[in-house]
Amino acid sequence: MRAEESPVSLSQATTRRLSMIEAINDALDIMLARDPDVVVIGEDVGYFGGVFRATAGLQARHGRTRVFDTPISEGGIIGVSVGMAAYGLRPVPEIQFADYIYPGLDQLVSEAARLRYRSAGEFTAPITVRAPFGGGIFGGQTHSQSPEALFTHVAGLKTVVPSTPHDAKGLLIAAIEDNDPVIFFEPKRIYNGPFDGYYDTPARPWATHPGSEVPDGYYAIPLGKARIVREGADLTVLAYGTMVHVAEAVLAAKGIDAEIIDLRTLVPLDIEAVEKSVEKTGKCLVIHEATRTSGFGAELVALVQERCFYHLEAPIERVTGFDTPYPHSLEWAYFPGPVRIGEAVDRLMAG
């Protein structure tokens, strides 16, 4: 069953409490068992199980021809994946950190994203590129970047960012089953550590996460469908990844009747859900961790302006990361947090 079909009934499924890392591992395990064309490749994904342990145990269960290590060459990893996909496999390459993906950008943009078009549909590139992204582990400027806007700019690529273990599993399964290349960014700030969404200081982000309920077995969440985190009438908040939780915490503390939309997939974007919400509330706040200039938030602002202009009661607000290299010791000040988000909310509510 492909992701565009109706998912299995989750109301009858048993659940387990999983962290996002465990949910991703579960999705890969299921797809390796379900589809013999699925292969997992990358640096240290095999015997070691990945730098964040997302592929732990998969090689032992599925064998060295299905889960295997590669040289330290992101261009080679993506290039090999394009060749595999053209011959009918469904590779799931892991890039250890999103910051390392740039050497593979040419293969993604010039080959994977163009293959269906340039071959008139004779070949496709069903590749799912997994990469942890964003801050939260004091990784500094070479282990904390959020480059999603680079990929949303490329026609032919789909871009996915989950915010919960439940969605991470269902969206990853859907991405692997998709016949076009997907960039699957995993926010490492909520991989394993306890999430303290409101405060500006970290609370041991490497500790054991209590997790959330994730259905056992197969289920797919179709790409291009946003999730309404909470309904509200006074303000629409657009966010994805870690920022969904930050928005929830800040708005709950301020007592604002806000409608929070977790975009989940940036491309394809559920613009209908966005438009419907903004028409109802008349106000819109966009939050993302990436740098401000040319960030994906700029595209969201443009779309809301084009489609909802006559419903807007106040200028659209953006709260983002700063246009600086990613700081190490000051990363919690770099994140959009309660102060900056609160100020933007106050401006919007003042109208």
11: confidence class by pLDDT, cuts 50, 70, 90? low
351: confidence class by pLDDT, cuts 50, 70, 90? confident
Active-site residue among 62, 143, 166, 288? Answer: 143
Report the distance separating Cα 78 and Cα 112, nearest Å.
9
Q: What is the pLDDT of residues 233-269, one digit of tens each?
A: 999 999 999 999 999 999 999 999 999 999 999 999 9
4-127-58-55 Cα dihedral, nearest 10 degrees: -100
In this model, does residue 210 exceed pLDDT 90?
no
Least confident stretch, 48-57, 191-200, 245-254, 330-339? 191-200
> Other C-beta atoms within 10 Å of 156: how many?
17
Q: What is the pLDDT of residues 162-180, one digit of tens each?
A: 999 999 999 999 999 999 9
Mean pLDDT, residues 11-28 taken together: 90
Same fold, 10-215 and 227-350: yes
Verify whether residue 143 is a known catalytic residue. Answer: yes
16: exposed, middle or buried (Cβ count in 10 Å: 0-12, 13-18, 19+): middle
Spatial CB neighbours of 319, under 8 Å, sequence gap ≥ 6:
285, 286, 287, 336, 340, 341, 344
Locate the domains of the chain by residue range.
10-215, 227-350
- Asked whether 40 and 63 are in contact (CB, 8 A), the reply is no
Q: Show the tokens assigned to 318.
A: 């953006």
pLDDT score, position 193: 53
pTM of the model: 0.93
Cis bond before residue 7 (omega within 30° of 0): no
Q: What is the pLDDT of residues 281-306, one digit of tens each?
A: 999 999 999 999 999 999 999 999 99
Give me the amino acid identity at 267.
Answer: V
pLDDT score, position 141: 87
- Asked whether 331 and 138 are in contact (CB, 8 A), the reply is yes
159: confidence class by pLDDT, cuts 50, 70, 90? very high
Share above pLDDT 90 across residues of the chain, in percent, rounded to a whole number: 83
Mean pLDDT, residues 143-152 taken together: 95
In this model, does residue 197 exceed pLDDT 90?
no
pLDDT score, position 140: 84
Give me the amino acid identity at 44.
Answer: D
Fold of 10-215: Rossmann fold (3.40.50)
Q: Which residues of 218-257 are buried (b: 16+ CB within 10 A; e: fewer)?
A: bbbbbbbebbebeebebbbbbbbbbbbbbbbbbbeeeebe
199: confidence class by pLDDT, cuts 50, 70, 90? very low
Fold of 227-350: Rossmann fold (3.40.50)
> Other C-beta atoms within 10 Å of 122: how many?
9
